[in-house]
A = this chain, B = another copy of it.
Amino acid sequence: MTTRKDAGKTPERPWKAAMKETKIRNMEEFAAVSGISRPTISKYFNDPASVRASTRERIERALETYDYRPNIFAMNQNRKLTKNVGVVVPYLADPFFAEIARNLENRCITAGYRPTLFSAHGEPALEVEILDTLRSMKPAGVLLAPLGRASDVGAVEKFCADVPTVLFDSSLPDLGLAFVGSDNPQFARLAVEYLCRTGEPPCFFEMKTPANPNANRRRQGYLAAMESLGHEPFVFKAEGSGWDFEDIGYREGLRALSENRFPTRTVLCSNDRLAIGFLVACYELGLRVGHALGCDIRVAGQDDHPFARFTCPPLTTVAQDYESVSRAAADILFRSIEDGPVDRQTLLFEGKLVMRDSA
């Protein structure tokens, strides 16, 4: 490690010393220097169009001189309806959630709301903590992807009773204004049908104790699809828990393959992250993955994870409709905030087959 003491000593409380004398500390002071009353300034910040054009100009001229910004938290403290929207995901280090969170944040901003992002980091206690913080924030609404199986359902239920909440990705029965997610059985069915049409029927590779109910629905979709096509299903349940799906896919894939557990040479993984790890296991064992001539095994995933394009070979998968899910979740929430509550509904979006080279 390299340590360098930079030139010059940090002055005593530099962030205070640098404060210009003209610095505006609050709306009162800004009202004084701009020669306008505080309530009118307040009106301006809540809607610039609500003040006379000449007043607006005066305010904006003062704004350039003194660059004042109202304290957002003091604003919300007293407002009947804030513009705050909470976005909560179970695990932000998973690029899938990072991507959907980014999407949701952008939608909030576009719709004139102020998103605040939270990740439970896979920990139920932290999820509860987040919900408590959110209460303090007096949010107009919340977009919540719960941890799933590990969630404190009681806490979420109480929260949904207090704050307009739309659940997404992972469902908790009958909670919130709505649930928006994917039609998971359809995902598996789509994959099974494609794989059977183009080769051997697939085995199913999943975690023994999945984090959320989506995995169970996918398994059921797989079983149903196999049955209806008249094939014998086979499910391999990978040991391990937590959020290191790739590692589990790799380790257990290695085990399953070297123990020769799969009756066919086609494997449908419960999700892309497992598949990414599984592909490494295949690589390590010298198995050529793909549907081309001379390949040893076909591997498919589900989700269209942001990195699924960049595996070797690129992963064939069933794409979640990120756009539609996030758009629907946001729209329902905003509509409910603006026009009052709506009937609780469940929206499930179908996946689309993305054919790449792995299967």
Tell me the A residues contacting B by CB distance below 8 Å.
1-6, 8-15, 18-19, 69, 71-74, 76-77, 92-95, 98-99, 101-102, 105-106, 114, 116-119, 121, 132-133, 135-137, 160-164, 174, 177, 183, 246-247, 250, 276-277, 279-280, 283, 306-307, 309-314, 324, 341-350
Contacts and interface: CB of A to CB of B under 8 A. Distances in A.
A101 B92 contact: yes
Contact of A344 (B8, B312, B341, B349): B8
Contacts of A94: 98
Number of this chain's copies in the assembly equals 2
A107 B211 CA distance: 25
Given A15-B163, A349-B1, A10 B343 contact: yes
Interface on chain A toward B: helix, strand, loop, or mixed SS?
mixed
6 contacts: A1-B349, A2-B347, A6-B174, A73-B77, A250-B310, A279-B310
Contact of A10 (B8, B93, B177): B177
B71 A136 contact: yes
A352 to B, nearest CB: 12
B101 A4 contact: no
Contacts of A283: 312-313
Contacts of A310: 246, 250, 276-277, 279-280
A9 B117 CA distance: 30
Contact of A69 (B3, B72, B74, B135): B135
A311 to B, nearest CB: 7
Contact of A98 (B69, B92, B137, B177): B92
Contact of A92 (B74, B92, B250, B348): B92
B93 A99 contact: yes
